[in-house]
Amino acid sequence: MQRPLILVTNDDGIDSKGLWAVAEALAPLGEILVVAPDRQWSGAGRAYTSNGTNHIVSLEREVGGQQITAYAVDGSPALAVFRAVLELAPRRPALVVSGVNFGFNLGSDVTISGTVGASLEAASFGIPALAISLEMDAIHHLAGDDAADYSVSMRTAQRFARRLLADGLPPDVDVLNINIPRRATSETPWRLTRFHRGRYFVPKEQQSSRDRPGYEPITDFSQVDPEADVWAVKVDGVVSVTPLSVDMTSRVDFHAVNSSLRVQPAS
């Protein structure tokens, strides 16, 4: 029986320790294909940007007893997934896992995230996907923290990958966005959470127009919904699992909205 093909990708680049931690964790579950940007692409969202040549370089790695041919793409995370699915995969992937990202992807920040963007790109092909992020200080968001412990992230990736390979995702769920506190252990529970309607990372004033935008995490959680992802990881210290859908249509009463929009504004 043919083993399921699992595509592993990220937005931190082909040399990321988080990327290879995921590949190692998932090796027992299937055939691993690694396709990732050739460098750091944090903040790319699901962009199909022209800031790259799309050139592909292959390399050989042994992961979990498997000899893996990995591919580094000179392009965004979404384009890496695009090229993987259409050109590099020997067959259709059964699952795409993006991560482990250097730092949280919470609340409205997920639309900026290249990690989540890669997962949404997979979802656009109808492939179930996981996006996995590990809490790190902002100074490590681009290069990673050499002291970071990926063991909990690896166990989490394997747990949810195993379930998705067996059962798929529920209706209207295309991506599971998973965020892991740095102090999480193998005993830390996970919780299904909502999307926080606001930023987790607040922009800071730039020193120069050429600088990468700075940011700092919120510290006041009084306005955060206790059912939201931010509350789960920062207040309760549990692993947050947020179901995302590529259908971004508001879940509202269309009749009520239609009636509201047709009301003539007061003069």
The pLDDT score that the predictor gives to residue 267 is 65
Q: What number is the average pLDDT over the span 115-123?
A: 98
pLDDT for residue 136: 97
Rg (CA), the chain: 19
- Res 92 pLDDT > 80: yes
- Nearest by Cα to 81 from 113, 51, 120: 120
Indicate yes or no: pTM above 0.85: yes
pLDDT score of 204: 79
Q: Which parts of 181-235 are beta strand (E)?
A: 190-192, 201-204, 214-217
Determine the pLDDT at residue 211: 58
Is residue 229 within 8 Å of 193, Cβ to Cβ? yes
For residue 77, give the nearest of 30, 136, 27, 9 by alpha carbon. Answer: 9
Mean pLDDT across the stretch 77-104? 97
What's the mean pLDDT in 167-188? 97
- For 239-261, the pLDDT digits (tens) are 999 999 999 999 999 999 999 99
What average pLDDT does the segment 142-165 reach? 97
Q: What is the mean pLDDT of residues 24-28?
A: 97
In this prediction, residue 96 carries a pLDDT of 98
Taking residues 64-73, report their average pLDDT: 91
> How far does Cα 214 stand from its chain's mean position?
21
Domains of the chain are 5-262 (3.40.1210.10)
Q: What percent of the chain has pLDDT over 70?
A: 96
pLDDT above 90: residue 113: yes
pLDDT at position 207 over 70? no
Tens of pLDDT, residues 185-198: 999 999 999 999 99
Segment 109-122 mean pLDDT = 97
Of 117, 168, 154, give the one whose Cα is nearest residue 12: 117
pLDDT category of residue 209 using cuts at 50, 70 and 90: low
Q: What is the pLDDT of residue 208?
A: 56
Query: pLDDT confidence of 53, banded at 50, 70, 90?
Result: confident
Mean residue pLDDT of the chain comes to 94
Does the pLDDT value for residue 161 go beyond 60? yes
